Structure 1
Amino acid sequence: MSMRTLPLLFINLGGEMLYILDQRLRAQNIPADKARKADWTAGDRKRVMNDIITTMFNKTFMEELFKPQELYSKKALRTVFDRLAHASIMRLNQASMDKLYDLMTMAFKYQVLLCPRPKDILLVSFNHMDAIKDFIRDSPSIFNQVDEIFRQLIEMYSNLPAGEFQLIRQTLLIFFQDMHIRVSIFLKDKVQNSNGRFVLPTSGPVPYGTQIPGLIRMFSYNGDEMKKCEFPNGGSYTSPLQEGSFDLYGDRILKLGTNMYSVSRPVETHMSGTSKSSASHAKENAAPNPLAKEELNLLARLMGGLEVKKTTGSESGFRVNLFSTDEEEEEAAILRPSELSYQFINIQATQDQQSNEELARIMGEFKEEDPVSLSPCSKGDDLLAMMDGLL
């Protein structure tokens, strides 16, 4: 397990979240001169994107994030992104937030699987960062904030050895291994099977500096080649040294991490229905977490470092629906299996000493052998109240 995986996971999932929200907000845009009080306008969309990106790249939060550490649990990471999605005037109810997170995770999982070299995950991250900077190019202060994290990303990861990137890739795949959610855009492009598993290509150019698989060499202790044998590689690969093949490889990498929602296409998510997927999620929700107290302490500390803008009392939140109609959203919430529905840990993480002592007292009451008590949020109200307490 790599201790440097968390920043890449957070930034890439955050990039996918911004792609989806931007697409949905643009779909609901109404010209300002025709908009009513409860309608979305281009100004509202820009404000939402600016607020979320500002919160996402908060300096204190990112400093904690870049420290070597293990990945959060799926529940803890989901809580972080739920807060990010509600860092502005936008509201998502339970079904839409579930769908948003499903799309984020499956998109990045597919990108990780498609990377021919483990180090290409860094290029995917750069694509996401470039797109995020495009969202806030008209806001110099936020742009500089994001650009500084881009610089830190290059500084930390550009000189890592290939073995460390292999560990990062392995850690990401372990995190995603039980997620098999069908996404319509992947099903229509035939890159995902009906059981939610991805179809990986077994042809095309191999990465630059590598050889076509199919040959095993055995060496002596002093480095002399003693024996070699061949095996069928099951695909049709080409060497990057062949004419035009490196361009094909480079073109594939340049597309990973880019916005697949830039062209308007309906995107639906469906549970795979496989017993393994359902069982794994049920096991995750039911099994006690021996590190529950430590995870909550870490998450509370990170949340305490975020500076989230308050929503004034006279300003009501705008609701965004990731489904085509309200009826579809309500139906999805009803049909989604309970063991696959995410719930949120409600933490009051304020900066004052009295609240910190109260948080420590509450966390001390959790028994490590018992599951952490969770309660669902109603349209993000609890999380918004929690963020208000951070100032």
Structure 2
Amino acid sequence: MQSDNVTSSITLPASYRKWVVSGATGAPDLKKEHFRQVECEIPSLMDGEALIRVKMINVHSATRLRILRGMIATGQTDLNNYACAEVVSSRDPAFCVGDVIACQAGWQEYQVISSRDLPVGFAEPNNLVKALNGTHSPWVYVFRPAMVQMWPASTLMEIFGTSGMTAWFGLQQNGPMLTRDTVAVAATTGSVGSIVAQIAKAAGCRVVGFAGGAERCTWVTTTLGIDDCIDYTSPDLDKALRKVFPEGIDLFSDGVGGDLTERVTRLMNRHSRLFSYGSAASYYAPSIGSAPEVRPTMRQNFGITEEVERRLSERHIRSHVWTVDQFYHQRLQAEDALSQLLLSGQLKPNSHTVDGFEHLPAAITGMYRSRQPGKLQIAFK
């Protein structure tokens, strides 16, 4: 730990750049014109604060919905991005100058944080997480030095960030994975799904993914090394499902929701497991108007309809619908296990990194027009 009033030897600029939302609420689609760049002064620190330089952010799939539905107001930035940053000045004993940290950050080059800050958009963590992180947020902590030396920021953010942790804890909570298990993985080209598929394959399971189109299905099988991939745009999807899953499904990892959840759960075996963590069907709807409205419960938002609930109950299918912050007191164990998979070659990062702060509007809007596999990351050079 360092004492208060610690400053960096780096000469800081007088100002920094920040992107804010501009007149997007109610628009039919998100465009580059809905982002505006502003210049902000580097602030002075109060006791208990630290100044960070944001190195990279992960862009969440729900960003477009949140902007167009007014959840990020005009003139405001999005503070809900998982980020990798370096501490450049500190009056908070939880952070030392030079620390590389995980945090939540806006679309901005510099930001003031505090170990006392609560997470944006999430509940306050339990005491175990607070003790482990030394902060009041599951997303804010100092990366172990060995991790920083071994892995680039893109891997820290993808494999050891919320995507990798969701995949790891989701499978742990829905295990054990047996070599006789058939695992179906929706959103296999996505950040979580691509990791789930590789972990399940490393455990010896038969793994089948889903992707839109022959080219993306080929990417899934060749890049991720899994057994098969179903094109969910197929005109006869039900026939394809029956062919690929002749003995049913033992574990379904679902980050899509919507119609795909309804169809796939029909083939789930008795006493199988459903791990549901997202709703790509909503995030990537053709237009904001065609995206489902927010439902009363997380299960409904993730595509678990009354019919699916009935099916789960009748077949005694164990289902988990949650957000990963519930398990962050076990973060270090997950980091160690994921590191071993990376080092053994059984797990490969697949993020899509865009270099340059100035490219943020194009990167975010482009994510919904020509999706690249893996987590979209923006490196602030």
TM-score relative to the length of structure 2 = 0.21
Whichever structure has more helix as a proportion of its residues is 1
Bigger Rg, which one: 1
TM-score relative to the length of structure 1 = 0.21
